[in-house]
């Protein structure tokens, strides 16, 4: 069944191809030989995972009971999925010391084994191309953040397909960030995932070298929520779910990453493309659908994506350095950090949480005595703030209070229209500065260790990118173009 | 009529008379806040919550129906399966012990029905506390319907959408809310309380959706203005008003008598944020019978004259309502610039029992129909405060100076 649907799209009208209906279900994914599809479907009391053989349209259910979701194929024909079974009430499970969570299982040749275990959530897994590693989203480790009313993060972890201890691939020093649905490119070089940077943010697609995921860039624009990325066999393009204002709902988009172009392919979600690159698989209204990718592409107009520019290759000598101080000191300097990319870093140890804000370092200009500051608020949360042109502050905040007596490395970076805070090398927060930074017209005076009880050491700053902080990449850099 | 039935009749009449004349004491309940104390996914846990809350002397219970748009009853409209984290990948899970693993939408029997039946047995009036939000400042509280319909998400002036709320400017969103209302009405509440205090960080600045932009352009012939423009607030206010009108009409169409209360936030002598931030003209809603009463959820008193300025703010609400009932806040905590009674203790140096007594007397003296206790949680209202509230006779004039 192929129906041409005329739909308003951006500047013109496009023809969307409705796919052939395969089965009731969602989150379908092709096996490596392209002959089968693993998918999830509603079952009494939960979800179950099944495998559809395309030639016969027969479905074999892999799970029974609980909820099983997010299947992914390994090259050897195994299927990894997330499994959740919660027969007890939450209170009873805590009282009984349950360690049951939502964890990964692997099915192969009729047998099932547990891959991960713990009182957290492991989900949305995918295999590395060689089948040796499984990447997945996880809330493991989020107990680092006991507070903040339940706001959590989700990280990317990896575990050997044979089992064992998992390792962190990408984590944030923040409650408000999440990276889910990791998808590794067919050549194993690039990792893509869905990323959200805070409660007021939207899901977006992030891409990085698999070897340095912290240096990621977002490839989708802020006005287009997007998730569920999957690479095409060519390793340059990907499909994902996204929505733009004129769309009738979630749609399947194809993004050419190095070219910075995208096309809307269908109304639906959770796409995948067959290993031969010819067939698009997605779901819509609880039905799995497939369509000819080339035909679909031919009917879809191209939209140019705004290209994130590479972060400028900042280099230079530190503009200032202060070795160590426990008391308030002032350091007149000949620098104007308001005009350019800028960073300030230090190590800080608090004796106690300040009653008001405690300043680790601030820059006093003629126009403002707090043009920038790295500080700890009255809850012990670290922050890096800069004053905007209208006099208001934009601050990047840490996710959790600093622990007294422990030494932290804090880095505040301002590049372009953003300020970033890193805690112990991990990105904690990033904020846009919509109004631009208040430009200084006179040299700055550093004020260090003010209103706080503790120690500030190794204070440095200037116009170079800190060596220990991964510099965000860009699609062009990723593809060497 | 045998003797037993006669006594029962007399008792019920007596209760009804007392209730009609009483100074109503409303307790707002968030069962989630009891989750680490009681097994709140069970009938026994629900009973324990009510046992505890009613120590305050509350005679009306308003039970929270949701966390954001994650329902706390067996909802058909908000797909139960996809409320389970992380079965929808767009919801970042919450992993705290107990709280992160609650599944109120799946509890058998239905929690709201359980709570309401218990209230009926106890002779306590019951209703729903429905926050004016689709999130509760957390990802994991986003609802399945919201996450499935990005085309209705609100949008800022730069065109950037946000999943925090679907806009009432879309008829489909209004229809969705009325289907949720139907689910609540099926459980036979006596009151539905809409709470503007809890609005999930949403404001009229998030309402630059296409229907609003087009309506603006048709009316004024210019691009939409800054969200602080009174004309923009009024335009967004039209869709908020349409929601309350639809709610009133929907309840009437079902032939039910359900009291509609509206909670207003940060009442001050200056800007009315309920209007400027939420676009809700509560005075008009009250005057035109779209709501049956107003709950003052918080005020912004003058620190130099805490009680006197509080009384003036309460009176300003009373004077705006044209005789509609209103309720004054008793709040055990300070929150985000909203003074609870600890703030008054600090401002005056008085003990909490004295402060609460004073606030009760102010409420009575300005003519309030009662008080609303903002979130009675486990042991947050001390026994001494509970005793003051329990024993307060709202029918007598007090001796407040």
- What CATH number is attached to the domain comprising A196? 2.120.10.30
Q: With an 8 Å Cβ cutoff, are A91 and B201 in contact?
A: no
Higher per-residue pLDDT: A201 or B329: B329
Q: How many domains does chain A have?
A: 2
Claim: this prediction has a pTM higher than 0.80? yes
Last residue of some domain: A253, A278, A304?
Answer: A304
- Terminal Cα-to-Cα distance of chain B (whole angstroms): 51
Same domain, A249 and A284: yes
Q: In the structure, what pLDDT confidence band is assigned to residue A142 with cuts at 50, 70 and 90?
A: low
Q: In the structure, what pLDDT confidence band is assigned to residue A310 with cuts at 50, 70 and 90?
A: low
Spell out which residues of chain B touch residue A225, defining contact as CB-CB under 8 Å: 150, 153, 161, 163
Spell out which residues of chain A touch residue B90, defining contact as CB-CB under 8 Å: 203, 227
Between β-strands B125-131 and B191-195, what pairing exists: parallel, antiparallel or unpaired? parallel
Spell out which residues of chain B touch residue A42, defining contact as CB-CB under 8 Å: 81
Same domain, A449 and A343: yes
Q: Does B155 touch chain A (CB under 8 A)?
A: yes
Distances (CA, A) of B129 to A316, B47, B65, B314: 59, 18, 6, 22
Give the per-residue pLDDT at B80. 86
Q: Does residue B47 sit in helix, strand or coil?
A: helix
Domain membership flag for residue A336: yes
Same domain, A165 and A283: yes
Same domain, A292 and A186: yes
In SS3 terms, chain A reads as CCCEEEEEECCEEEEEECCEEEEECEEEEECCCCCEEEEEEEECCEEEEEEEECCCCEEEECCCCCEEEEEEECCCCCEEEEEECCCCCHHHHHHCCCCCCEEEEEEECCEEEECCCCCCEEEEEEECCCCCEEEEEECCCHHHCCCHHHCCCEEEEEEECCCCCCEEEECCCCCCCEEEEEEECCCCCEEEEEEECCCCCCCEEEEEECCCHHHCEECCCCCCCEEEEEECCCCCEEEEEECCCCCCCCEEEEEECCCCEEEEEEECEEEEECCCCCEEEEEECCEEEEEEHHHHHHCCCEEECCCCCCCCCCCCCEEEEEEEECCCEEEECCCCHHHCCEEEEEEEEECCCCCCCEEEEEEECCCCCCCEEEEECCCCCEEEEEEECCCCEEEEECCCCCCCCCEEEEEEEEECCEEEEEECCEEEEEEECCCCECCCCCCCEEEEEECCCEEEEEEEEECCCCCCCCCCCCHHHHCCC
Same domain, A164 and A86: yes
Q: In the structure, what pLDDT confidence band is assigned to residue A146 with cuts at 50, 70 and 90?
A: low
Q: Does A92 touch chain B (CB under 8 A)?
A: yes
Give the per-residue pLDDT at A3. 36
Domain membership flag for residue B261: yes
> What residue numbers bound the domain in which A401 lies?
318-462
Same domain, A214 and A145: yes
Task: Choose among B89, B97, B159: nearest Cβ to A124.
Answer: B89
Spell out which residues of chain A touch residue B38, defining contact as CB-CB under 8 Å: 91
Domain membership flag for residue A469: no
Same domain, A233 and A119: yes
Restricting to B residues 192-221, those with a Cβ less than 8 Å away from any Cβ of A are: 201, 210
Q: Does B348 touch chain A (CB under 8 A)?
A: no
> What residue numbers bound the domain in which B187 lies?
21-391
Task: Choose among B96, B98, B149: nearest Cβ to A91.
Answer: B98
Q: With an 8 Å Cβ cutoff, are A123 and B89 in contact?
A: yes
Buried b (16+ CB within 10 A) or exposed e, B171-203: eebbebbbebbebbbebebbbbbbbbbbbbebb
Rounded mean pLDDT of chain A?
87
Same domain, A356 and A300: no
Higher per-residue pLDDT: A307 or A55: A55
Domain membership flag for residue B397: no
Same domain, A297 and A322: no
Residue spans of chain B under pLDDT 70? 1-21, 396-401
- Residue pair B109/B78 in contact by the 8 Å Cβ criterion: no
Q: With an 8 Å Cβ cutoff, are A82 and B138 in contact?
A: no
Give the per-residue pLDDT at B20. 43
Give the per-residue pLDDT at B401. 33
Same domain, A357 and A280: no
Last residue of some domain: A304, A329, A362?
Answer: A304
Domain membership flag for residue A311: no
Long-range pairs for B178-184: beta carbons < 8 A, 24 or more residues apart:
B178/B246, B178/B247, B178/B250, B179/B77, B180/B75, B180/B77, B180/B78, B181/B247, B181/B250, B181/B251, B182/B250, B182/B254, B183/B73, B183/B75, B183/B76, B183/B77, B184/B65, B184/B112, B184/B128, B184/B130
A198 to chain B nearest CA, in Å?
9
Domain membership flag for residue B295: yes
Q: In the structure, what pLDDT confidence band is assigned to residue A337 with cuts at 50, 70 and 90?
A: low
Q: With an 8 Å Cβ cutoff, are B159 and A245 in contact?
A: yes
Domain membership flag for residue B284: yes
Domain membership flag for residue A310: no
Domain membership flag for residue A467: no
Restricting to A residues 213-272, those with a Cβ less than 8 Å away from any Cβ of B are: 222-223, 225, 227-228, 243, 245, 247-250
A127 to chain B nearest CA, in Å?
18
Domain membership flag for residue A292: yes
ipTM of the complex: 0.92
Q: What would the two tokens of residue B156 be?
A: 């800022």
Q: How many domains does chain B have?
A: 1
The CATH number for A379's domain is: 2.60.120.200
| Residues with Cβ within 8 Å of residue B363, at least 6 apart in sequence | B23, B314, B327, B328, B370, B371, B394
Among A229-238, A351-360, A430-439, whose mean pLDDT is lowest? A430-439
Domain membership flag for residue A43: yes
Give the per-residue pLDDT at B337. 85
Same domain, A111 and A238: yes
B161 to chain A nearest CA, in Å?
6
Q: With an 8 Å Cβ cutoff, are B201 and A223 in contact?
A: no
Give the per-residue pLDDT at A12. 28
B138 to chain A nearest CA, in Å?
6
The CATH number for B65's domain is: 3.20.20.80
Indicate if the pLDDT at residue A439 is higher than 60.
Answer: yes
Higher per-residue pLDDT: B381 or A5: B381
| Mean local confidence (pLDDT), A188-202 | 93
Domain membership flag for residue A468: no
Spell out which residues of chain B touch residue A94, defining contact as CB-CB under 8 Å: 36, 97-98, 101
Last residue of some domain: A278, A304, A330?
Answer: A304
Q: Does B41 touch chain A (CB under 8 A)?
A: yes
Q: With an 8 Å Cβ cutoff, are A92 and B39 in contact?
A: yes
Same domain, A333 and A298: no
């Amino acid at each position: 069944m192929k129906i041409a649907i005329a739909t308003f799209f951006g500047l013109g009208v496009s023809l969307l191809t409705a796919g052939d209906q395969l089965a009731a279900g969602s989150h379908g994914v092709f096996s490596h030989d392209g002959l089968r599809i693993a998918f999830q479907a509603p079952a009494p009391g939960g979800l179950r995972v099944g495998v559809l053989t395309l030639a016969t349209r027969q479905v074999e259910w892999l799970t029974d009971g609980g909820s099983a979701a997010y299947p992914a194929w390994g090259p050897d024909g195994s299927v990894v999925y997330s499994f959740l079974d919660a027969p007890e009430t939450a209170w009873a499970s805590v009282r009984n010391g349950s360690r049951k969570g939502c964890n990964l299982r692997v099915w192969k040749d009729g047998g099932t084994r547990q891959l991960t275990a713990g009182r957290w959530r492991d989900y949305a897994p995918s295999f590395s191309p060689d089948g040796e590693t499984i990447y997945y989203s996880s809330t493991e480790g989020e107990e680092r953040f006991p507070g903040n009313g339940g706001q959590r993060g989700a990280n990317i972890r990896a575990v050997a397909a044979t089992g064992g201890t998992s390792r962190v691939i990408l984590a944030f020093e923040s409650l408000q960030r999440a990276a889910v649905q990791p998808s590794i490119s067919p050549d194993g070089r690039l990792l893509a995932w869905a990323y959200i940077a805070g409660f007021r943010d939207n899901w977006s697609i992030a891409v990085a070298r698999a070897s340095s995921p912290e240096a990621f860039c977002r490839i989708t624009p802020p006005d287009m929520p997007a998730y569920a990325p999957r690479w095409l066999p060519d390793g340059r393009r990907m499909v994902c779910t996204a929505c733009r204002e004129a769309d009738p709902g979630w749609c399947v988009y194809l993004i050419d990453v190095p070219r910075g172009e995208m096309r809307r392919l269908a109304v639906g979600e959770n796409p995948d493309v067959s290993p031969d690159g010819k067939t698009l698989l997605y779901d819509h209204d609880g039905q799995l659908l497939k369509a000819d990718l080339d035909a679909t592409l031919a009917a879809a107009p191209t939209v140019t994506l705004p290209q994130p520019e590479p972060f400028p290759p900042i280099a230079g000598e530190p503009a200032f350095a202060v070795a160590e101080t426990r008391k308030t000191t002032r350091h007149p300097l000949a620098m104007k950090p308001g005009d350019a990319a800028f960073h300030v870093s230090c190590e800080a140890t608090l004796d106690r949480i300040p009653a008001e804000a405690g300043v680790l370092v601030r820059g006093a200009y003629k126009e403002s005595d707090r043009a920038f500051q790295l500080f700890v608020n009255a809850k012990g949360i670290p922050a890096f703030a800069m004053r905007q042109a209208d006099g208001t502050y934009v601050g990047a905040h840490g996710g959790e209070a600093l622990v007294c007596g422990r030494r932290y490395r804090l880095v505040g970076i301002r590049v372009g229209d953003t300020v970033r805070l890193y805690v112990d090398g991990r990105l904690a927060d990033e904020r846009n500065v919509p109004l631009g930074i208040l430009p200084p017209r006179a040299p700055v005076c550093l004020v260090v260790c003010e209103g706080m009880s503790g120690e500030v050491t190794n204070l440095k700053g200037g116009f170079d990118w800190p060596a220990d902080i991964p510099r965000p990449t860009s699609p062009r850099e990723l593809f060497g173009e | 009529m045998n003797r037993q039935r006669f006594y029962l009749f007399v008792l019920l009449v007596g209760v009804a008379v007392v209730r009609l004349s009483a100074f109503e004491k409303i307790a707002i309940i968030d069962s989630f806040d009891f989750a680490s104390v009681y097994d709140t996914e069970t009938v026994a846990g629900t009973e324990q919550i009510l046992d505890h809350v009613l120590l305050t002397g509350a005679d009306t219970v308003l039970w929270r129906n949701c966390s954001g748009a994650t329902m706390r009853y067996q909802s058909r409209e908000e797909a139960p399966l996809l409320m389970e984290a992380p079965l929808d990948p767009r919801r970042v899970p919450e992993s705290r012990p107990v709280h992160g693993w609650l599944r109120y939408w799946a509890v058998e029997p239905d929690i709201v029905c359980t709570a309401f039946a218990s209230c009926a047995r106890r002779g306590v009036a019951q209703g729903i506390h429905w926050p004016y939000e689709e999130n509760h400042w957390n990802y994991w509280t986003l609802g399945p319907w919201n996450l499935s319909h990005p085309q209705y998400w609100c949008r800022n002036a730069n065109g950037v959408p946000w999943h925090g709320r679907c806009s009432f400017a879309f008829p489909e969103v209004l229809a969705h809310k009325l289907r949720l209302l139907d689910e609540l009405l099926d459980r036979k509440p006596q009151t539905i309380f809409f709470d503007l205090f809890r609005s999930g960080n949403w404001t009229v600045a998030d309402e630059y959706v296409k229907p609003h932009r087009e309506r603006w352009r048709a009316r004024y012939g210019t691009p939409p203005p800054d969200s602080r423009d009174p004309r923009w607030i009024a335009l967004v206010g039209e869709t908020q008003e349409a929601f309350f009108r639809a709610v009133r009409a929907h309840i009437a169409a079902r032939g039910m008598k359900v009291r509609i209360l509206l909670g207003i936030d940060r009442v001050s002598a200056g800007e009315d944020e309920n209007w400027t931030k939420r676009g809700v003209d509560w005075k008009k809603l009250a005057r035109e019978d779209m709501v049956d009463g107003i709950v003052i959820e918080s005020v912004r008193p003058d620190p130099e004259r805490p009680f006197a300025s509080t009384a003036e703010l309460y009176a300003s609400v009373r004077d705006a309502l044209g005789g509609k009932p209103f309720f004054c806040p008793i709040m055990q905590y300070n929150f985000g610039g909203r003074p609870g009674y600890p703030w008054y203790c600090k401002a005056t140096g008085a003990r909490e029992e004295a402060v609460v007594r004073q606030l009760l007397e102010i409420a009575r003296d300005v003519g309030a129909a009662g008080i609303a206790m903002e979130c009675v949680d486990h042991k947050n209202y001390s026994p001494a405060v509970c005793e003051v509230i329990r024993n307060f006779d709202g029918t007598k004039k007090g001796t407040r100076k």
